Structure 1
């Protein structure tokens, strides 16, 4: 794996957002990372939302690439979802799916996984349609601004989901805490944060590009959340069991937390 110092930064340099989906979230036989990138998040999100205490009017998604499978469970519990992206290419790819345009990425395998995990075929018959209805807006954001969606001012969210984004926008652990603070400002007191990330990663490959990743462990992310005023309600870690030259993470982590009042 190429040294992190030679990698591109996710939010500063261009990369092929469609290739990201093909390499990490597809159902192709050669895509070996599905247990960690698809099944692990879907299982934990399904269990977390099924408890019934994370719900409300407004959810913000701040996640890597144009992925949508992490929103399938959430769309049942929130009236409105706003997706924030740092890349125009990600927005175009996501809107292609939202608008059911020709050539959109096929997320049918994710719908099938939800059906198998949730076990309710009747509710899942139009799972993709429910996600499309819930996603009200896809908005470009600038993570360096005080208001990341300037000039748009968003209402404070009942919940934020951030999947793998912090891994790839942070140069240092101080950056991680700084961006976490920015995300927290988008959240109501008492609101919930769901965080998915990779532990021990230095880089990921997308097509011909190497994308930087911040290396951190479970202890660091727990300490960072508590330091920013969060109470951790649940934490699951799954060690990597598959071999792939695409990326060098050691484990994936899922955390559900709430912001203190």
Structure 2
């Protein structure tokens, strides 16, 4: 991988608003709705509504300033903490969290979440519940032993991680190290819900091209086994669009339970 032409997300930063517009917006030319919006929300909703993931405290470690996947989670978890690598992403999220001028418009996700649960007439309630559930947005650094230093978080009942390990890891060794640091935040018996792009080598935010560590489905399964995560559920959705902003082949959803 040539890191002079592919930027590193956690080192160089990115345009968080452009990232949202390209991959998560309600714009007519946004090609990723099936893969980046509907698939994660449906998978997490299924996992939670069937009682497979339970508890009160959720940690989310995901790429950029996304929150759409947390709408289903806010029904189950009363305390949600978001971990972010960039101050820009924290500022973007705080605009939305406190309903400030210029906040990103997630109303299309409120509608999708309400429809998913058969509650189309409760859009405001969905958004208010998620805002109420998010208790903290913290900066994290995976180079530190305690990635949220100086804050020491209690262990989580559940962790959701979307598209982050592959963009902060240059190779297999770094991926395994970052996965281990992630599950250190998880209670024994707790679950990691991971969404990742299969066979991805790059992605764009604005005009900037970013690195992604390429791996296949078997690599993730083996990685879970090596760190003591028993796989509870697994699903793959093949890519539904043709556009050169990123080169993933499929979306993976995998759930691992940490040993007691």
For Structure 1 versus Structure 2, the TM-score category normalised by the shorter chain is over 0.9
Q: Distance in 1 between matches of 2:216 and 2:182?
A: 20
TM-score in terms of structure 1 length: 0.96
CA RMSD, aligned part only? 1.3
**Paired residues of 1:58 and 1:78 also in contact (CA < 8 A):** yes
**Paired residues of 1:59 and 1:160 also in contact (CA < 8 A):** yes
Pairwise CA distance, 1:216: 0.3
Residue 73 of structure 1 aligns to a residue in which SS? helix
Q: Distance in 2 between matches of 1:127 and 1:115?
A: 7
Q: Distance in 2 between matches of 1:46 and 1:191?
A: 17
TM-score in terms of structure 2 length: 0.97
Residue 12 of structure 1 aligns to a residue in which SS? helix
Paired residues, number: 260
Pairwise CA distance, 1:257: 1.6
CA change 1:84–1:147 in 2 (3 A) is same
Q: What runs of 5+ residues in structure 1 fail to find an aligned partner?
A: none
Q: Distance in 1 between matches of 2:234 and 2:175?
A: 18
Match of 1:40 in 2: 39
Q: What runs of 5+ residues in structure 2 fail to find an aligned partner?
A: none
CA change 1:4–1:32 in 2 (3 A) is farther
Pairwise CA distance, 1:4: 6.3
Match of 1:118 in 2: 117
Q: Distance in 1 between matches of 2:108 and 2:3?
A: 32
CA change 1:5–1:196 in 2 (3 A) is farther
Q: Distance in 2 between matches of 1:194 and 1:4?
A: 29
Residues 64-107 of structure 1 show CA distances to partners (whole Å, capped at 9, x for unaligned) of 00100011011111120010101000000010100101111111
Match of 2:7 in 1: 8
Q: Distance in 2 between matches of 1:19 and 1:155?
A: 33
Q: Distance in 2 between matches of 1:230 and 1:5?
A: 35
Pairwise CA distance, 1:245: 1.6
Match of 2:232 in 1: 233
2:194 matches 1:195: yes
**Paired residues of 2:57 and 2:79 also in contact (CA < 8 A):** yes
